[in-house]
Amino acid sequence: MNYKHLYYFWHVAENGHLTQTAQKLHVSQSALSAQIKQLEEWLGTPLFERTGRKLVLTQAGYIARQYADRIFHEGENLVNQLKQGMDGSDLVVRIGHASTMSRNFVEAFIHELVHQQDVQYRLHSMTPDQLFNELADHQIDIALANTSVRGSDKQLWQSRLLARQPVSVIGPPGRDIEQLTDVALRNNNWVLPPENMPLRAAFDMLSAEYNWQPRVLAEADDMAMLRLLARDTGALAVIPDVVVRDELTSGQLKRYLTLPNVFEHFYAITLKRPFEHPMVAKLLQRFV
């Protein structure tokens, strides 16, 4: 397969007619048909089926068109960027973020993009493993994560600490809680991060030190879900303030204690490249 085969297929898939596409591309209909046939033989599956005078994509053709769309649109972006310069105008910035991260923090990170009309941005939520795989495969330009990562000889990661947020005991108003030693913290219902997260390890240490004996109603590694559980269950929660910012402002929830020396860390992770994406560089400038 070569890109001419794929390019011709892409135009036929968009148009649905060989004759019209051949005229548009200034090639003969027979040459265009031969190129499509060679591509189908190479892939081992038909890409079109004829319905009257129109060519309709098969399931394999539909999948092939999705890939072709991405390939040729990215090619157009490449040409436009190099011709217009590396100033960040008319660019797309692809941001991946761990599904466990605070949506409030992600929104704050992209705040500058929200008000720019000439920059498109795409947000992708995924697991940490997916996040790093997508970054390594150049499917995203920057990854936002709760954990840092180290580079290796094969993969040159750049990990930058953007912020660290205090973690608090949060709950519905009306509790008599002012200190870690208060009796009101004992034998309570809690919603917590799972045991494999650093926040849970910090909570378990404090729980053992102060003999809290918590009853764990629910666990969630997704901060958005933990926020909803904290809001709706009536239980106490250990959660970064930024996650429940709106509920604290409205009075639905109350911050009782800020846990000593316990923080949620937010990192930006990129790959070392000869040229940094101009909008990624601009976003990171706020955190220097």
Same structural domain, 159 and 169: no
What is the per-residue pLDDT across 119-170, written as a single tens digit (0 to 9) for each? 788 999 998 888 888 888 778 889 999 888 765 545 577 889 999 989 999 9
CA distance 243 to 286: 20
- What is the reported pLDDT for 153? 46
What one-character DSSP code corresponds to residue 167? E
Same structural domain, 187 and 228: yes
Please provide the distance, in angstroms rounded to a whole number, between the alpha carbons at the two ends of the chain.
Answer: 46
CATH code of the domain covering residue 222 = 3.40.190.10
Same structural domain, 256 and 169: yes
Secondary structure class of 280 (helix, strand, coil): helix
CATH code of the domain covering residue 69 = 1.10.10.10
How is the chain split among helix, strand and coil, in percent rounded to 5? 45, 25, 30
Same structural domain, 108 and 149: yes
Mean pLDDT of 6-31: 90
Which candidate, 27, 59, 22, places its Cα nearest to that of 43?
Answer: 59
Q: Which of 62, 84, 106 is the last residue of a domain?
A: 84
What is the per-residue pLDDT across 218-275, written as a single tens digit (0 to 9) for each? 999 888 899 999 999 999 999 988 889 999 999 999 999 999 988 989 999 988 766 6
How many domains would you assign to the chain?
A: 3
Per the structure, the complete domain to which residue 236 belongs is given by: 165-262
pLDDT class of 281 with cuts at 50, 70, 90: confident
Secondary structure class of 188 (helix, strand, coil): coil
Same structural domain, 143 and 198: no
